[in-house]
Structure 1
Amino acid sequence: MSDTTNTIFGIYPVKEALASRIVFDKVFIQKGIENDKFEALIKDLEKANIPISTVPFEKLNRLTKGNHQGIVAVTSPVAFHSLEEVVETALTSDKAPLFLILDQITDVRNFGAILRTAECTGVNAVIIQKSGGAPVSGDTVKTSAGAIFKIPICKVEHIKDAIFYLQGSGIKTIAATEKSNSEIFSVDLTMPLAIIMGSEGKGVSKSVLSLVDERAALPLMGEINSLNVSVACGAILYEVIRQRR
C-alpha cells in the first residue's frame, strides 16, 4: 500500500477510531489470532458493517511497518452515501438520472480515473460493492484529481441487490460487455440509466449479466479484443452525453 497515511494499526487505535466514527474502508486481521480483546473488537466492527479480511501475518507487515498487533484498518478519505437517498434525490431532478455501477474493479488507478470521468460527465453516483473492489485510498484521491470528493459513492453489500433496487425505481440497467451483438451507439441512453462496468480481467460477472435489462459493446477495430476499463467507461459515458444533448 503506497499511501500509509490512511492506515490505523493496533487494537486500541482501531478501537478508538471506531468509537470516533472514522470511516473505515476495510480491516485486515491476522489469521489464527484469538483472544477476548480481538473477539470483542471484531464484533464491534461487524456491527458497524465494516468489511473484514483475515490475512497472513506477512500481509500485515506489508501494510505497515509499525507494531500492528495483528490488525490493520484502512480508513476512507470520504463518507459513503445511502443508495436509497441518492436514487430518491436523482429521481426528483429534472434531468434523467445516470448511475455507474463498478463490478469488482480492483485497480486503484482505474477506479480513480473512472471517478474523475464520472464527475465530469454528470453521473449522479458511483455504486461499488463493500468487498472485492479497489479500496478508497490516497491513491484513489490522487488519480481522481479530487473528483472523489465531488461525486457520491455508495457502498452496497451486493451489486445484484443494487440492480434490483434501481430496476424497481424505474432505472434501466445496461452492462458494458463484449459479449453482446448490440453496439452502445445503437442503444437508447436518454432514459433513467445505470451503466455497469466489469473488472479488469473478467468483465461483468455472469451473475450480474443475467440480471441486467440490456447488454452493449464498444466496437473494436484492431486486433486487441478489449479496452482498459477506465477508457471504455469514458467512451460510454460520453456517448450518454452525446445522446442526451
Structure 2
Amino acid sequence: MDNNYQIFGIRAVIEAINAGKTIDKVFIQKGLQGDLFKELNSLLKSEQIASSFVPIEKLNRLSKKNHQGVIANISPIEFHNFENLVMNTLEQGHTPTFLLLDQLSDVRNFGAIIRTAECTGIDGIIIQKQGSAPITADTVKTSAGAVFNVPIAKVEHLKDAIYYLQGSGIQVIAATEKTDDSLYNVDFTLPTAIIMGSEGTGISPSILKTVDKKAKLPMYGSIGSLNVSVACGVFLYEVVRQRF
C-alpha cells in the first residue's frame, strides 16, 4: 500500500474524517480501548465509514510505520452521488451502461475491471459501501490510471440501486452461471446495468432475485469459471459489439 494513501493513529484519523477526507476503510487493532478509540468508533458509525477489527499482525503487514493500532486508507478519488450519476447520464441522451460489483474483494481485480470499463465506455461503476474492495495504490496501478476517468459511486445497499436503475428504465443483467441463458442472447442495445459477483461466491442469491435477466458465458473446458475481471471484459465487449 502506498503511504500516500494511508493515515496512521487514532487522532490523525479522527482529524482526517472531520476535515472531510474521503476515507475508504479503517483497520483497527483488536482489543483497542480508551476514550479516543470510543470517539473514533462513534465517528465511524455516524459517518458510515467501513471499518474492520484486525490482529496487530495485519496492521504490521499493511504498514511498517508506527500505526498506534489504527490505519485508515484514504481513497485517491472522490466518489459520485449514485442518483446524480444516473440522472446526469440519462440526460446525455446516449444509451447508458452501468456496472455493479457485488462484494468484489480483490483490489487488483477491481483495478482490472475499472480499466476495461474505461476502455468500453462504461458510464459508471456502482459498489456497496460495506464489503467492497477499497481503492488502493494497487487498484490505481492495475487500472492504469483509469480509476480517475470512470465515475464510481458507493451505495448503502446494492438492492436499492438495482430498483432505482430499473425504475429509470435500465435493464439489470446478472452475470452468473446459475442460468441456462447465454450472454449472446441478451439485447444489450437497451439501457443496461451489468452485475458482476465476488471472486468466491458470485452474486448473492438475494441480489439474483431482483434482476431482470441472468446470463452466463459458454464454458467448454474442465474449469468451471473465469476470473471475474476476465468475465467482466467479455460481457462489456459484447455490449460494444452489439452497439457499434
Residue identity opposite 1:75 in structure 2 = I
Counterpart secondary structure, 1:230: helix
Correspondence 1:134 to 2:133: yes
Q: Please state if 1:46 is matched with 2:45.
A: yes
CA contact (8 A) 2:79 2:154 kept: yes
Residue of structure 2 in register with 1:156 after alignment: 155
SS at match of 1:170: coil
Residues 130-182 of structure 1 deviation map (CA, whole Å, 9 limit, x = unaligned):
12222100000000011000011111112112111111221110000111111
Shift of 1:75: 0.7
Unaligned 5+ runs, structure 1: none
Asked if structure 1 preserves the Cα contact closer than 8 Å seen for 2:101 and 2:197, the reply is yes
Partner amino acid for 1:124? D
Paired AA for residue 78 in structure 2? A
TM (normalized to structure 1)?
A: 0.95
Give, in whole Å, the separation in 2 of the partners of 1:178 and 1:15.
43
Aligned to 2:122: 123
> Residue in 1 aligned with 2:183?
184
Aligned to 1:63: 62
| Other-structure match for 2:211 | 212
Q: CA deviation at 1:66?
A: 2.3
Q: Structure 2-normalised TM-score?
A: 0.96
- Could you tell me how far 1:229 is from its partner in structure 2? 0.9
More displaced 10-residue stretch of structure 1: 47-56 or 179-188:
47-56
Structure 1, residues 194-233: CA drift from partner, whole Å, max 9, x if none?
Answer: 0000111111111111111110011112222111111111
- Matched with 2:222 is 223
1:238 paired to 2:237: yes
SS at match of 2:27: strand
Q: Which residue of 2 aligns with 1:200?
A: 199
CA RMSD of aligned residues (A): 1.3
Report the secondary structure of 1:199's partner residue: coil
SS in 1 for 2:71: strand
- 1:33 deviates by 1.9
> Which secondary structure state, in structure 1, belongs to the residue aligned with residue 57 of structure 2?
helix
* Superposed structure 1 runs of 4+ greater than 4 Å apart: none
Residue number in structure 1 paired with 2:98: 99
What is the identity, as a one-letter code, of the residue corresponding to 2:210? L
Partner Cα separation in structure 2 for residue 96 and residue 183 of structure 1: 22
Query: 2:225 and 2:184 mapped to 1: Cα distance?
Result: 17
Alignment correspondent of 2:86 = 87
Aligned length: 244
**Runs of 5+ consecutive residues of structure 2 not aligned to the other structure:** none
Q: Residue type of the partner of 2:243?
A: R
CA distance in 2, matches of 1:165, 1:28: 32
Identity of aligned residues (%): 59
Q: Indicate conservation of the 8 Å contact 2:11/2:36, yes or no.
A: no
The C-alpha deviation readout for 1:43-97, integer Å capped at 9, x for no partner, is 2222222112122222222222222222111111001011100000111122111
Query: Paired residue for 2:14?
Result: 15
Secondary structure class of the residue paired with 1:122: coil
Aligned to 2:32: 33
Partner of 1:172: 171
Contact 2:107 2:133 in 1 (8 A): yes
- Paired with 1:128 and 1:45, the residues of 2 have a C-alpha distance of 19
Structure 1 position 19, deviation (Å): 2.5
Q: Is the 8 A contact 2:5 2:74 kept in 1?
A: yes
CA distance in 2 between counterparts of 1:227 and 1:15 reads 41
For the residue of structure 2 that corresponds to 1:17, the secondary structure is helix
